[in-house]
Amino acid sequence: MKAAILYVLAGIAGGVMGGMGLGGGTLLIPLLTLFLGVAPKQAAAINLVSFIPMSVVSCIIHAKNKLLDFKKAFLVAVPACVTSVLSSLLAQKVKGEAVTKGFAVFLIVLAVSMLASRSAALVKDAFAGLSGALNFPRAGKR
Amino acid sequence: MDRIRTFFSSHKKTAVFAAVASALLTGTANGLFGGGGGMLAVPAYTVLLGVDERRAHATAVAAILPLSTISAAIYIANGNFDPSFGYFVSGGVIIGGIAGSLLLKKINTKLLEFVFYGVMLAAGIRMLVG
């Protein structure tokens, strides 16, 4: 059992990223398993439990700001609920190590694709800026 | 990416079909790994359904809430939630979540995104080989 403050700090780091909409769980789970030695399924459960109060609060704020599209939320939530019941039950049956390896592949694929798309956008912006500066009105547009 | 977006905006039925398919993946990942579903739901909203970035993030949080609740119940029922340190982490997440929401208005997240995805990549590799 590590010091309580370390768990709180890991939670804060995950929470900050989650609050900014960058994916809190994808940071919190590796922090807990890699640095604090928490078992993979324990880390998963903590992330799921922690997400509930945070997202209730943020849903209220977003609804007030009229940023919530309820119809589209249902469109994703209903099919996702079905598979999440099945996959949660499956997770209870498999070894923690298998969950970690699967999650590792998931993280790598996501990180590489996000880095690639963000870099492409950055390069495009740079070209658009450059051609704007050099006054080539057609370049940089698609 | 723009071309993909244009395609889906003129093929609405295909877009909805693809969004449901990606929702099935979102649920699978979120339940199996205990998180990360939002990383799949947000692009489904922005790329497939043409929702703008801010609305997509907000709507994804709402969409993930019911499935995280169901998954959390299944994990707890199977004795995978240890309250002895779980509540410390949850408390931290709530504090951090509020700070993050407030920070979002004030800082440029572009650079932070690069750092974040770099950390994600490193963590993934470490988990795979470790």
Q: Which residues on B lie below 8 Å from A33 (Cβ)?
A: 127
- Interface touch A77/B39, C-beta < 8 Å: no
For A92, residues 6+ apart whose C-beta sits below 8 A from its C-beta are A41, B74, B75, B78, B80
Q: How far apart are CA A78 and CA A97, in angstroms?
A: 29
Is pLDDT above 80 for B82?
yes
Whether pLDDT at A20 is above 80 = no
Q: What are the structure tokens assigned to B18, written together?
A: 């693809």
Closest in A8, A17, A115 to B88, CB measured: A8
CB contact under 8 A, A88 and B70: yes
The token pair that represents B130 in the structure block: 């470790």
Q: Look up residue A131 and give its two tokens.
A: 């051609």
Ordered alpha helix ranges (H), chain B: 2-10, 12-33, 37-43, 53-77, 83-104, 109-129
Domain coordinates in residue numbering, chain B:
2-129
Q: What is the CA radius of gyration of chain B?
A: 17
pLDDT over 70 (residue A23) = yes
Cβ contact, residue pair B34, A80, below 8 Å:
no
Nearest-CB residue to B81 (from A49, A67, A82): A49
- pLDDT value at position A136? 63
Of A48, A76, A77, the CB nearest to B35: A48
**Run of H or E including A92:** helix A70-93
Identify the CA nearest to B78 among candidates A42, A32, A95: A42
Which among A7, A25, A106, A3 is positioned nearest to B91, based on CA atoms?
A: A7
Average per-residue pLDDT in chain B?
90
Contact present, A50 and B89 (Cβ < 8 Å): yes
3-state SS assignment for residue B112: helix
Q: How far apart are CA B123 and CA A10, in angstroms?
A: 14
With 60 as the cut, is the pLDDT of residue A50 above it? Answer: yes
DSSP structure string for A42-87: HHHHHHHHHHHHHHHHHHHHHHHTT---HHHHHHHHHHHHHHHHHH
What is the mean pLDDT of the segment spanning B38-64? 91
pLDDT band at A39 (very low <50, low <70, confident <90, very high): very high
- Whether A26 sits inside 8 A of B36 (CB atoms) is yes
CA distances from B56 to A94, B38, B47, B71 (A): 33, 10, 10, 22
Question: Chain B neighbours among A 111-140 (CB < 8 Å)?
Answer: 111-112, 114-115, 117-118, 120-122
Q: Which of B36, B78, B119 sits opposite A92 (nearest CB)?
A: B78
Helix H or strand E segment including A27 = helix A25-30
Closest Cα partner for A51 from B77, B108, B23, B73? B73
**What pLDDT score was predicted for residue B2?**
78
- The answer, yes or no, to whether residue A41 has pLDDT greater than 90, is yes
Q: What is the pLDDT of residues A101-142, one digit of tens each?
A: 999 999 999 999 989 988 888 888 888 888 877 766 555 555
pLDDT (tens digit, 9 = 90+) per residue, B55-68? 898 899 899 999 99
Show the tokens assigned to A123: 């390069």
pLDDT at B10 over 60: yes
Q: Rounded to a whole number, what is the largest CA-CA distance in chain A?
A: 63
A26 pLDDT higher than 80: yes
Domain boundaries, chain A: 1-93, 95-135
Give per-residue pLDDT as tens, A126-135. 888 888 777 6
Check whether A16 has a pLDDT greater than 90: no
Residue A139's pLDDT is what? 53
Determine the pLDDT at residue A138. Answer: 57
Q: Is the pLDDT of residue B1 over 80?
A: no
Q: Which residues of B touch A117 (CB under 8 A)?
A: 1
Assign B98 a pLDDT band (cuts: 50, 70, 90).
confident
